[in-house]
Each structure stands twice: as C-alpha cells, then as structure tokens.
Structure 1
Amino acid sequence: MASRTQPPARQQAPAAVTLVVGEEEFLVDRAVRERIAAARAAAGDDGGDLHDVEASTLTPGELATLTSPSLFGGGAIVIVRDAQHAGKEIAADLARYATSPPPDATLVITHAGGAKGKALVGDLTKAGASVTECPKLTRPSERAEFVRNEFRRAGRQADEGAMRALLDAVGTDLRELASAVGQLASDTEGKITASVVARYYR
C-alpha cells in the first residue's frame, strides 16, 4: 500500500520538441496553447520563462540562449513561429537542437506545411520531434468532423442533425464553431439535437 505521505505525482512531461504543421490558424493556436499548459503542469509551477518569437527574427545561437534555464530556476518554454521562414543557419540550429534537447526546456515550432522550408519538417521529424498536423479544413465533411470532435472534447453527445444545423447557422469559421459548441455544451442538458441548436441560432 502506498504511503499517504508521498507527494502527488507530477503530470507526464510533454515532448521536449513539438512541431505543429499546417495553416489552420485556430488549430495551430490551440495546439500551441495546449503544449504551453502541459509544460507548466508538468513543471508544477509557472513552467519557467516563456519566449514567443518568429523564426525569421532569430539569430544564430539565440535558440540556445532562449532555452537556457531561468536565473531564478525552472526551465524555459520557447515558441518559434513560422519556421518555413527560417534561414539556413536557424533551420540548422532547430534541427540540431531537436536531436538532443535539454531536459528543462520545451520547444514548440510552428510551420505552415507547404513546400517552403519542407526540409526542416523532415529533419525535425527524423530527430524525434512530436508532430501535430493542423491542415486547412476545406471540405464540408472535414468541418462536420471538426464539430463532432468538439462535442466529444466537451463531453457531450450531438446527433447529425445538430451538427448540420450548427454548420448552417454559424458558418465555416472554426473559432466561431468551437465557441458555439462550447456555449451549447455549457447551457444545455441531454443530447444536443437540431431543435436545441435552433433555439440558440434562429
């Protein structure tokens, strides 16, 4: 039997390096926020210093400085955005870092996923970075699946009619759809149907 005096276990640490690939802005932003939250939860405190920078503004060697432990203790969380715009030296720094990341830092890299800078995606993947795909959702079936998953995330059941009604009423913007699902999930009880959606979005 475990001793009651044992401290609670920390949450499992997130991947040291996460690559978020895609152009769906809402999904990219959510993935970045979730990695930051996971890093802070695993650290058991504020997670250390947070740096949010554009890849195009980084200078050679700066990544090592940003990911160094804070003077006041704790690691660092570094977000490098739009890595497709990274110069050759910076891309090399990112790939080299991913092969042997320090234990007290969390690095999240976003990349649009197109042809530009494609080699860096391959290098980071080979180095063992955790990859989150956030492609543009352009087909009606993809947006319907997004709404379906949002209801699952909220722990609620919704039938197909409800999802169609929500898409018809709110449109295609994922941020607005996610907000609508959140409102329905918090303001209603039971299974969400088309008639429930209609009461909110006439």
Structure 2
Amino acid sequence: MAAKKPVRAAAKIDQVPWSGIRPAPVVLVTGPETFLAERASSVLRDLLLGEDPALEVHDLEADQYAPGLLATLASPSLFGEPRLVRVTNVEKCTDAFITETISYLGAPADDVTLVLRHGGGVRGKKLLDTIRSGVGGGVEVQCDELKRETDRIDFVTAEFRAARRKIAPSAVRTLVAAFADDLAELAAACRQLLADEAAEITDKVVDKYYGGRVETNAFKVADIALAGRSAPAIVELRHALSTGEAPVPIVAAFASKIRTMAKVSAFRG
C-alpha cells in the first residue's frame, strides 16, 4: 500500500489574501503569483510609511544570506526609526538564514517588520512551520494564481473600485480576455485606462486601447471560418498566431469541425 502524504497541521496564525496584508512583526508571503506578492509588499510598505515617514527599508536575498545580517538590521537603531526588512528567495535560503531567523522569531524586535517571501517548495519548511505555529506573532499572506476567469474579473473590478472609478461589466470581461495569461499586464492595462480616461470605462474604450489584444483560439477561428465569414476569420487567425497559437492545433480544429459537420450531414440525409 502506498504511503499516505503527511497532512500539514492547521496554521495558528491568520492567513489572508494579498489584498488583506497588514503590519505584523513577521509577514510570511507565500504562493506562486509573483505579481500579487510584489503588490502586497508594496501595499505594506505604503501602510508603514503612512504611520512613520522615517521608515527604513532593507532588502535581502535569502539564498545569498551572510550570517549575522538579520541581527544587525534588527538591532535597535540610534534614532529609533521603524524598519521594514524584506527577504526574497526564502524557498532557496541558506542553512544560516533558517537557523538565525527561527532564533529571531523567539523575540522579534518591536520596531521591525520582517517580510519573508516564499515562492513554494519544501526548502525552509521548518521555518515556515515555526511561523505558522504562532511563534513571532506573524501573519501569512497567500498569493495564489488567479487561474479562473472569475478571479481575474474580481481583480479588475477591485482595481477600479479602489480608484473609485466605474467600468462596465462587459468592458471588464473584454479586458480580462485581452490579458488572460499575464496578470501583471492586466494590472498595467487597468492603470493605463485609469490614467488616460476620465469617464466611465466602456466596451468602446477598452476596444480602442486593446481590441487587437483580445486572445482567440483554434476553435474560435474554425467556427468563424466555417460560418462563411472569411474576413473576420482572417483577423481572428492573425490574432491567434500573434498570441502564440500554433498552426497545427488550428488545422486540427478545422478538421474536427469538418468531421462533425460531415456526421451531422449524413444523419440529415
């Protein structure tokens, strides 16, 4: 019988989405979505700067960590400025980083916010388990990929809601379709629309900026072509090829559609 995979114990700290990030002695940022992790880190920095403009920001790479560095940065400062220490590549961290960070969690500095970015994998599991057990008074920010269309629609809607701007629901769907595979580009498109357009964002506005970016697929090309709409089919074909669709799947889609039509025709005959 195959051995069962060990079940991870439930975390004893708050686990929030990227948009729910908040100050804490230790902030663990996990998940594969790099863009959301960077956005969460920026939001936290802005929150801390709002509390004290004298905030000092230090960036470290856990895979290049030098022993004693965390203790140096977390030691009391001369003028008592609050500090934000951001650590990336924790999934590749050195043994010294794991040991010293676990030791630091036993007594975090009062004026230091330690942000640990872990992109996934088993490296550093002991450190993550320690944080999740509640040692250090941390919070975990989960940055999962937005795989579903509804998730990306919610993301765009939240972007415009935060800016107190209106966007038509159909325009949201069009925008999401134009950047289905790149969340960073989708966010950049939202920022451009917010900066360049003063009125409500409609389908017409989105089409003006990104109409040529709306992604397509092989079966959509085949459907339009077999409906006898040759000009739109050529446009969709160009879009499909420019967004990475390979020629072979397009040919296969045509073959599949034609076989289906032949079968239906035989039944009708």
Normalised by the size of structure 2, how large is the TM-score?
0.62
Give yes or no for contact 1:158–1:192 (8 Å, CA) kept in 2: yes
2:113 matches 1:84? no
The aligned counterpart of 2:181 is: 172
State percent identity of aligned pairs.
38
Q: How does 1:41-52 map to 2 (within 5 A)?
A: 41-43=50-52, 45-48=53-56, 50-52=57-59
Q: Distance in 2 between matches of 1:115 and 1:190?
A: 48
The aligned counterpart of 2:202 is: 193
1:76-135 CA-to-partner distances (Å, cap 9, x unmatched) read 221111112223342232233234211111211100133332332221122231211112
2:179 matches 1:147? no
Q: How does 1:13-24 map to 2 (within 5 A)?
A: 14-24=23-33
Q: Distance in 2 between matches of 1:95 and 1:136?
A: 28
Q: Distance in 2 between matches of 1:95 and 1:30?
A: 26
Q: How does 1:99-178 map to 2 (within 5 A)?
A: 99-126=106-133, 127=135, 128-178=137-187
Shift of 1:53: 0.9
Give yes or no for contact 2:60–2:86 (8 Å, CA) kept in 1: yes
Q: Secondary structure at the match of 1:201?
A: helix
Q: Secondary structure at the match of 1:123?
A: helix
Shift of 1:41: 2.1
Q: Secondary structure at the match of 1:70?
A: coil
Give yes or no for contact 2:93–2:123 (8 Å, CA) kept in 1: no
Greater mean deviation of Cα atoms: 145-154 or 23-32: 145-154
Give yes or no for contact 1:19–1:109 (8 Å, CA) kept in 2: yes
Q: Secondary structure at the match of 1:101?
A: coil
1:48-75 CA-to-partner distances (Å, cap 9, x unmatched) read 3x22111122233321111123345413
Q: Distance in 2 between matches of 1:54 and 1:135?
A: 22
Q: Distance in 1 between matches of 2:43 and 2:63?
A: 24
Q: Secondary structure at the match of 1:20?
A: strand
The aligned counterpart of 1:32 is: 41
Q: Distance in 2 between matches of 1:94 and 1:152?
A: 38
Give yes or no for contact 2:156–2:190 (8 Å, CA) kept in 1: yes
Q: Which amino acid aligns with 1:51?
A: H
2:62 matches 1:66? no
Shift of 1:201: 2.2
Matched residue count = 188
Tell me which structure has the larger Cα radius of gyration: 2
- Structure 1 or 2: more helix by fraction: 2
1:16-60 CA-to-partner distances (Å, cap 9, x unmatched) read 2111112211111111122222222222x3213x22111122233
Q: How does 1:1-16 map to 2 (within 5 A)?
A: 14-16=23-25
Q: Which amino acid aligns with 2:164?
A: G
The aligned counterpart of 1:183 is: 192
Give yes or no for contact 2:65–2:96 (8 Å, CA) kept in 1: no
Q: Distance in 1 between matches of 2:147 and 2:208?
A: 27
Segments of 5+ residues of structure 1 without an aligned counterpart are 1-12
1:129-167 CA-to-partner distances (Å, cap 9, x unmatched) read 121111222333332222222222222232331112112
Q: Distance in 2 between matches of 1:70 and 1:173?
A: 41
The two structures, once aligned, show a CA RMSD in angstroms of: 2.2
2:65 matches 1:96? no
